[in-house]
Structure 1
Amino acid sequence: MWIVALVACLAGLGLSIAGASPAEAHAVLTSSTPARGAVIAEPPSRVQLVFSEGITLTSDSLRVLDPQGRRVDDARPRAEDGNAYAVGLRAELPNGTYTVAYQGVSADSHPIAGAFTFSVGAPSATSVSADAGTRNPDAGVVGRAYAAGRFGAYGGVILLFGASCFLLWCWPEGQAHSHLRRALAVGWGMAFCSTLALLALRGAYTGTGRVEDVADLSRLVQVLRTKTGVLLGVRAVLLIACAVLWVRRATSSAVGSRPSGWLLGWSALAAASLAGTWAGAEHASAGLQRLVAVPVDTVHLLAAGTWVGGLFVLTVALLRRTEVPADALARFSRVAFVSVCALVVTGLYQAWRQVGSPSALLETRFGLLLLAKLGAVAVLLCLGYVSHRWTRRFTRTAPGSPGPPLPRLRRSVASEAVLGLCVIALTAALTSTEPARSEASAAAAMSRVAGPVSVEVAFDTGGPKGSGSALVIIDPGLPGANGVHVTLTDPADMPLDVPAVEASLTSPSHGIGPLPIPLRRVSEGHWTVPDFQVPMPGDWELALTVRTSDIDQTTVRRPVRLR
């Protein structure tokens, strides 16, 4: 009955995680060309997107839709320098509003999606939904099932690590008890079944989110070609190898015999490899210091498994009135102490790497979840100290003499196990939440994105047909290459053709300029240059000279801020 209760408890916690708030995106769109909401005079030949970290794309990951919802891209997205990705456009676009929808997978295996619009010539009505491409991957049946599978995999491997350590190192004689062997089998079964479920769900989870796509074998093939798919496959193979190793141990050795050094060594290697499949696919695999973060995350999961998983097994033994020898309790107490020390050291490093600043603990969802986990671990340590004291009293009691009451130890260890489930639940939630450091970096990057800078000025050269207005657009308004577009219109808002237009930028504070902008006429009333270089951000002065005849011209100046 205890197995049914444990599985029910784990399933309930898994569903609570699945129903938690949707995860933030782990890679954030920081800039684009054309910029979000830009109105450009000439149709672009391609669309480029820059993200806060690298992402994995498919042929449908970048889509450009015309006002009627038809695709106008070439369906061949490609990676460029840094974290930039571009897709070409099929032909010259007519005027109107276009929607760019993107969807991909972050470097830490989490899917992202979003959309924005830009306009050519002037904005227009569009049949494309405003939320095109913004599907939340963690919503719906597939998203919730994937979250539950992630929790099941964590819970299963922690129980597997704890049961293996307890039965191989702390109390080999405990293998004679069927309920302890079942604990090991339950941990293995949860980890293996959850891994297969994640493999089956991943294609739909990172794609359309439709339940019917779970049965699409072509998506499974695509998943197996990705880093996450490979690691999930390796995890399944390792779990099968662990089962073979355990069966061989059970058939070739007497029940309760001490394991050989060979078996302990292979078991430790298998456990480290299993833990590495989590570290290699989650937050540790992306961001800063990955070569350090992955092994640290591996040690963290191993330590959590030997401590929390061992508590589950010890709880089962005590609740079933199994007589656990004092030396086994003492050995597990030492293992728990070493595991806690490893958890503290690796946890501090992970907190520094993923949070970045004290303020982020209170200002981000990741920080609040981490504080909740730290609080649960602190209470768990207090309960562990109480259990340790009871364990020491048991080990110091002389044979035949009355020892301390066993129910107190049972209650203390059972409380630890329940709280350990809460820690696992919070850990699963953290893995699906954007780290505070990357969230802050993405926000800072977004704050630096000015988008296109528009300046509209009126002019009057004093001659016939010499009055009108000029719209100057500097896109994207950042240091580096910018497109500069000048559109002249007369008082009736019709294109105004003139013999010459000149422009320049000057930075008085830095003593730079005037920098001439080499505009060329492309159509009636429209002058442009595609790649004018802005050397640095700051406050600039734009000078625009309009000549309407051989003797009539005027120069207007306006301040512009380029970030």
Structure 2
Amino acid sequence: MNNIWFRIRPAFRRLALWIGIALAIWAPLAWLQTGSASAHAVLERSVPEPGERMEEGPAAVELHFNEAVESDVGSIAVLDDRSNPVTEARPEAPGDRKSLRLPLPELKEGRYTVSYKVVSADGHPVSGSYVFVVGNPPASPDASAFDLHKQVGHEGHGGYGAEKQLTVEQFIMYTIRVLYYAALLLAAGIMLWYALSKGRQPALEPWLAKWGLYGMRALLTGTLLYVFMSTRELMEGLPLADWGSLLLSTSVGQIWLSLLLLAAVGFAVMKAGRIAALLWTAALLAVESLNGHAAAMEPKAMTVAADFVHLLAAAVWVGGLTLLLALWFGDRKEAGRFAPAFSNAAWLSVALLALSGIGLTVYFMPGWDYLFYTPWGTLLLIKSALVLLVMIVGVLLRLRVRKGHFPKGTLLKMDGILMALIIVIAAIFTSISPLPENEPVNWHQMGEEMHVTVRISPNVPGDNKFTVKVWLPEDVGTPKSVALRLLSEDRPESGPIDIPLEPYEDDEFDAFDGFVKATYRSEGPYLPYAGRWIAEVRVLDRDDNERVKRHPFRNY
């Protein structure tokens, strides 16, 4: 017996040795593995809190973690409602290294996103995002901001730009709009040239009086047609008695009445002298500035002022070019005398047109890529190309005039054609929305392992309603947890925004045989800025199996 034990004892020793080595290796790994669940830093508290609404902006953002983080690695960013950083400052780390503080400048009213990506002391990355609100910011403008039906409290005919095909009535309305816009610029332009030229070029005054009369007749006719057709469109389906309420009780109607009044008194203004002509022109263009896209944007004073400068420059150019063309066909010698004055004014006018147009586009468009999303942007690009051609023709005309030659007829005709095209495009695109129209997200996907529905309404930057429905097979049962996250495709470096879902009783008839349904919803400012997003639904069943579905969407 002892002999046998003596022979097998070395084998036991070797086995014990290998078991000891295995235990020595496995023990720390097991400790690390079990400890890893709590080794990563977790955001325990933040100032401001996720979803918090504040009367005034915070002096700083504070993030408090359960473990130490590396303050010199990673980043914290606070983004405004256009996803632009509000500060370039670096976060500060107190002595405990478990918190970070990012000083902030004074924040105005708006929705702000805190996006953080830091590294915990054990080397693991930690990231996330959340939203807080300062004040009571207005909804971000989209196509609905330019809907006159909503402005007058009559929404019975769909959203702005709801019609996808051009109807006969819309074609007539666009035609009248072009006639009105051309008449307004012509009448205002001739009146300006009358005020600038009176007493300086006596031979020009008969031409100014003649074309001033043409302009006033066209303005009165165009304004009557424009106001009538616009009122008819807004009050469709309502009694005729309500037309008076529209014109007298709404800002839109009062603007239209003011335009009609100015068009009617314009005939007497040219006889009243230069000062009256300048005041009338300023009033006409100021009222028209309140009758368009500029009045629907913020800050209103700045956009309306830029639109006024834009209209003023356009009027000088249109009125002067019309007068120069009339003189060229009727009195070449007088055309030669008028050409230098027009050349100087036209060059300044086109420069102001370009600068004010760029300024208005910057205010209207959240980004330059928006020019490719709507017909408004397409028309603006075409108009910009035509203005560039006008500048080239203007340079050629200016060179001839400076050399003492008569303006060349071919160049003048080309300038006139370009002017007509620009007026047509400007008249159309000032009556359509510069921004795309947001549509609610209503996504449903079927699958053998899970059905899922996600609804986001109205799908605008700011407050939204979120609904998530999940169907799992009956043998799997109801989910253990359901999470909805929003991930920004435009800012992939930002962490996901978690939507705090709450269960609710759903009374919709949408059952599926062999599946059980769970429904959740939330409401709040969890969609902070416009752009491309991914809605990610993460479902954990009772056996801790995770199912993930993603759906891309965008808003403006």
Report the TM range for the smaller structure's normalisation: 0.5 to 0.7
Instruction: Name the SS for the 1:324 alignment partner.
Output: helix
Task: Say whether 1:559 aligns with 2:548.
Answer: yes
Could you say which residue in structure 2 is the equivalent of 1:13?
none
What's the CA shift for 1:388?
2.8
Could you say which residue in structure 1 is the equivalent of 2:418?
419
Match of 1:382 among 370, 374, 392: 392
Cα distance per residue 1:227-282 (max 9 Å; x no partner): 43322211111222332322444xxxxxxxxxxxxx33x43332222122332222
Q: Label 1:372 to 1:522 Cα distance change in 2 as closer, same or farther (>3 A).
A: closer
What's the CA shift for 1:535?
10
Matched to 2:289, the amino acid is: A
Matched to 2:172, the amino acid is: A
Match of 1:112 among 161, 164, 182: 161
Judge conservation of contact 1:454–1:471 (CA < 8 Å) in 2. yes
Judge conservation of contact 2:456–2:466 (CA < 8 Å) in 1. yes
Alpha-carbon distance between aligned partners in 2 of 1:162 and 1:60, rounded to the nearest angstrom? 36
Judge conservation of contact 1:238–1:274 (CA < 8 Å) in 2. yes
Matched to 2:210, the amino acid is: R
Task: Say whether 1:541 aligns with 2:530.
Answer: no
Q: Any unmatched runs of 5+ in structure 2?
A: 1-138, 488-494, 527-533
Q: Label 1:520 to 1:414 Cα distance change in 2 as closer, same or farther (>3 A).
A: closer
Could you say which residue in structure 2 is the equivalent of 1:279?
289
Judge conservation of contact 2:371–2:378 (CA < 8 Å) in 1. yes
Matched ranges for 1:446-525 at <5 A:
450-452=441-443, 473=453, 475-476=455-456, 482-483=466-467, 503-505=480-482, 518=503
Instruction: Name the SS for the 1:244 alignment partner.
Output: helix
Could you say which residue in structure 2 is the equivalent of 1:401?
none
Cα distance per residue 1:10-34 (max 9 Å; x no partner): xxxxxxxxxxxxxxxxxxxxxxxxx
Could you say which residue in structure 2 is the equivalent of 1:3?
none
Could you say which residue in structure 1 is the equivalent of 2:307?
297
What's the CA shift for 1:367?
3.7
What's the CA shift for 1:506?
5.1
Match of 1:245 among 263, 269, 272: 269
CA RMSD of aligned residues (A): 4.6
Judge conservation of contact 2:506–2:519 (CA < 8 Å) in 1. no
Match of 2:155 among 61, 86, 95: 61
Q: Label 1:227 to 1:201 Cα distance change in 2 as closer, same or farther (>3 A).
A: same
Matched to 1:112, the amino acid is: G
Task: Say whether 1:195 aligns with 2:237.
Answer: no
What's the CA shift for 1:300?
1.0
Task: Say whether 1:315 aligns with 2:312.
Answer: no
Alpha-carbon distance between aligned partners in 1 of 2:212 and 2:539, rounded to the nearest angstrom? 73
Alpha-carbon distance between aligned partners in 2 of 1:385 and 1:50, rounded to the nearest angstrom? 42
Q: Label 1:352 to 1:245 Cα distance change in 2 as closer, same or farther (>3 A).
A: same
Cα distance per residue 1:173-229 (max 9 Å; x no partner): 557765542211111111221111111111333465x9xx9x945346435544433
Alpha-carbon distance between aligned partners in 1 of 2:259 and 2:500, rounded to the nearest angstrom? 59
TM-score, normalised by the number of residues in structure 1: 0.56
Q: Label 1:483 to 1:415 Cα distance change in 2 as closer, same or farther (>3 A).
A: closer
Could you say which residue in structure 2 is the equivalent of 1:349?
359
Matched to 1:430, the amino acid is: F
What's the CA shift for 1:358?
5.3
TM-score, normalised by the number of residues in structure 2: 0.56
Instruction: Name the SS for the 1:112 alignment partner.
Output: coil
Task: Say whether 1:154 aligns with 2:181.
Answer: yes
Q: Label 1:506 to 1:268 Cα distance change in 2 as closer, same or farther (>3 A).
A: same
Alpha-carbon distance between aligned partners in 2 of 1:380 and 1:387, rounded to the nearest angstrom? 10
Matched to 1:103, the amino acid is: G
Match of 1:229 among 215, 238, 253: 253
What's the CA shift for 1:303?
0.8
Q: Label 1:518 to 1:158 Cα distance change in 2 as closer, same or farther (>3 A).
A: closer
Matched to 2:379, the amino acid is: L
Q: Label 1:559 to 1:203 Cα distance change in 2 as closer, same or farther (>3 A).
A: same
Alpha-carbon distance between aligned partners in 2 of 1:515 and 1:360, rounded to the nearest angstrom? 31
Alpha-carbon distance between aligned partners in 1 of 2:412 and 2:378, rounded to the nearest angstrom? 27
Alpha-carbon distance between aligned partners in 1 of 2:303 and 2:413, rounded to the nearest angstrom? 32
Alpha-carbon distance between aligned partners in 2 of 1:507 and 1:420, rounded to the nearest angstrom? 53
Matched ranges for 1:29-178 at <5 A:
52=142, 53-54=144-145, 55=147, 56-57=149-150, 61=155, 103-104=158-159, 111-113=160-162, 134=163, 138-140=166-168, 142-170=169-197, 172=199, 173-174=201-202, 178=206
Cα distance per residue 1:459-516 (max 9 Å; x no partner): xxxxxxxxxxx8665544999754456779989xxxxxxxx96752258998999989
What's the CA shift for 1:329?
4.2
Q: Any unmatched runs of 5+ in structure 1?
A: 1-48, 63-101, 105-110, 114-133, 250-262, 395-403, 459-469, 492-499, 546-553
- Structure possessing the higher radius of gyration over alpha carbons: 2
Matched to 1:428, the amino acid is: A
What's the CA shift for 1:299?
0.8
Judge conservation of contact 1:319–1:410 (CA < 8 Å) in 2. no
Alpha-carbon distance between aligned partners in 1 of 2:535 and 2:379, rounded to the nearest angstrom? 39
Alpha-carbon distance between aligned partners in 1 of 2:309 and 2:403, rounded to the nearest angstrom? 31
Moved more, 370-379 or 474-483: 474-483
Alpha-carbon distance between aligned partners in 2 of 1:284 and 1:534, rounded to the nearest angstrom? 29
Q: Label 1:353 to 1:513 Cα distance change in 2 as closer, same or farther (>3 A).
A: closer
Alpha-carbon distance between aligned partners in 2 of 1:450 and 1:534, rounded to the nearest angstrom? 16
Judge conservation of contact 2:483–2:501 (CA < 8 Å) in 1. no
Alpha-carbon distance between aligned partners in 2 of 1:295 and 1:346, rounded to the nearest angstrom? 9
Moved more, 218-227 or 178-187: 218-227
Could you say which residue in structure 2 is the equivalent of 1:462?
none
Alpha-carbon distance between aligned partners in 1 of 2:484 and 2:366, rounded to the nearest angstrom? 35
What's the CA shift for 1:382?
2.9
Could you say which residue in structure 2 is the equivalent of 1:467?
none
What's the CA shift for 1:155?
0.9
Alpha-carbon distance between aligned partners in 1 of 2:472 and 2:518, rounded to the nearest angstrom? 11
Judge conservation of contact 1:538–1:562 (CA < 8 Å) in 2. yes
Task: Say whether 1:336 aligns with 2:336.
Answer: no
What's the CA shift for 1:415?
3.7
Q: Label 1:322 to 1:184 Cα distance change in 2 as closer, same or farther (>3 A).
A: farther
Judge conservation of contact 2:453–2:469 (CA < 8 Å) in 1. yes
Alpha-carbon distance between aligned partners in 2 of 1:521 and 1:146, rounded to the nearest angstrom? 46
Judge conservation of contact 1:196–1:236 (CA < 8 Å) in 2. yes
Could you say which residue in structure 2 is the equivalent of 1:123?
none
